[in-house]
Amino acid sequence: MAEESAAPSTSVDKTDSMDVDGEAKKLLGLGQKNLVMGDIPAAVNAFQEAASMLGKKYGETANECAEAFFFYGKSLLELARMENGVLGNALEGVQVEEEEEKAEDSMAESADNVDETEGSEEEDKENDKAEDKENDSTVEEKESEEDEVGNLELAWDMLELAKVIYKRQDTKEAQLHAAQAHLKLGEVSIESENYIQAVEEFHSCLTLQQKYLEAHDRLLAETHYHLGLAYHYNNQYDEAVLQFSKSMEVIDKRMVMLTERLRAKGEGLAEDEKEIEELKGLLPEIKEKIEDSKESQKSARVAELALKATLVGGSSSSFSQGTESSLTSTVSGSSSRSSKFNGNVTKYLIGSF
C-alpha cells in the first residue's frame, strides 16, 4: 500500500517540473522579444521571473539557470543605461530652466529700480524658488544614482553567476556563452567606470572566442572594439588604437570572406550583400575612434611635458594650466560618453546571444 501511495506523488512532481520549465521558456522568449522591441523594464520583469522560477527548482548554480541569469543581467545593464540617459536629459533641462530664471530675475531687477523694497522682496522669493528646485533636482539625482548603482550591481551578480555556470561546462557552446558573459561584465565595468576590470573581462572574453571562433567572426570584432573603449577610458591610448585597428582587421577579413562566397556561388545572396554594406558603414566610425585616441594621446603627452617643464621652472604657469585644462576636458569628455561611445558599431557587430 505504501508503494502505491508514493507513485501518484512522483507523477505530480513530474507534472509540476514540466510546468515550471515550460513557463520559464515562455518568459525567456517574451523577455527577448521585449529586449528587441526596446521595452527594457518589461524584459527585466520577464527574465527576473524566469530566473526566480528556475533557481527555486534547480538551485542557483544549476546549469538550467545559466540562460535566465545571463539575460536577466543583460537586461539590467540596459535598464541602468536607459535610466542614466533619462537622468542626463532631465538634468540638462533643469540647468536650462535655472539659466532662464536667472535671466528673467536680472531683467526684473533692472526694470524695478523705482521701488527697491518691493524689488528686493520679489528677488528673495525668486531665489527661494530657484533654491527649492535645485534641492529637488539634487534629491532626484541621488535617488536615480542609487537605482542605477543597484541595477549595475545586480547585473554584475547575475552575469557572474551565468559565467561560472557556463565555464564549468566543457562544450564549445557553453564556453562561447561564458565569453559573452565576460563581455557583458566588461560593459558593466565600463558603466561603473572601473576600466581596469573592464579590460580584464574583455581579455577573458577574447581568449575564449579566439579558441573557438574563426578569425573573421564578427564577435571578435565586437570584443576588440570594446577592449579599445576600455583602454581609451583608462587613458591607455596606444593600446586603444591597437584594439580598434584589430577590430577593423576582423571586419576586413569578414568582408573578404563574404565577397569570395558570393563569387563562388555565382549569384548574390541578399543577406551577404546586406552584411557587406553594414560592415562598410562601420569602418568610418571605428577610424574616428582611432583618431580620437591619437588626439587624446597627443594631449596627454603635451600635458606631461608641460608638467615636467613646470617642475624644473622652464614653463609659465599659464601654459601649464591651459594644457592641464585641455587634458581634463578630453578625459572627462571621454568618460561622460561611455554609454554613448559604443554607438552603431556594437549595434551591428553583436551576435544573436
**Across residues 123-132, what is the average pLDDT?**
60
- If we measure between CA atoms, which residue out of 80, 51, 65 comes closest to residue 145? 80
- If we measure between CA atoms, which residue out of 308, 306, 346 comes closest to residue 328? 306
Q: Read out DSSP for 42-93?
A: HHHHHHHHHHHHHHHHH-TTSGGGHHHHHHHHHHHHHHHHHHHHHHHHHHHH
Q: What is the DSSP letter of 100?
A: H
Burial class (CB in 10 A: 0-12, 13-18, 19+), 51: buried
How far apart are alpha carbons 204 and 186 in whole angstroms?
10
pLDDT value at residue 9: 34
Low-confidence winner among 53-67, 121-135, 145-159, 234-248 (lowest mean pLDDT):
121-135
Query: Which residues contact residue 248 at a Cβ distance below 8 angstroms, ignoring those fewer than 6 apart?
Result: 221, 283, 286, 287
Per-residue pLDDT tens for 7-23?
A: 343 333 443 545 899 99
How far apart are alpha carbons 243 and 160 in whole angstroms?
25
Query: Which residues contact residue 215 at a Cβ distance below 8 angstroms, ignoring those fewer than 6 apart?
Result: 250, 253
pLDDT value at residue 92: 56
Whether residue 133 has pLDDT greater than 60: no
Whether residue 329 has pLDDT greater than 80: no
Whether residue 323 has pLDDT greater than 80: no
Centre a 10 Å sphere on the Cβ of residue 268 and count the other Cβ atoms it contains.
Answer: 11
**Across residues 317-332, what is the average pLDDT?**
40
Whether residue 137 has pLDDT greater than 60: no
Per-residue pLDDT tens for 87-100?
A: 656 555 555 555 55
Q: Would the pTM count as exceeding 0.75?
A: no
- Average confidence score pLDDT of the chain: 79
- Name the residue type at position 80: A
pLDDT value at residue 134: 58
Cell 576582423 belongs to 250
* Banded model confidence at residue 264, pLDDT cuts 50, 70, 90: confident
Whether residue 339 has pLDDT greater than 90: no
pLDDT value at residue 88: 57
* 3-state DSSP assignment of residue 193: coil
* 3-state DSSP assignment of residue 168: coil
pLDDT value at residue 103: 57
97 vs 190: which has the higher pLDDT: 190
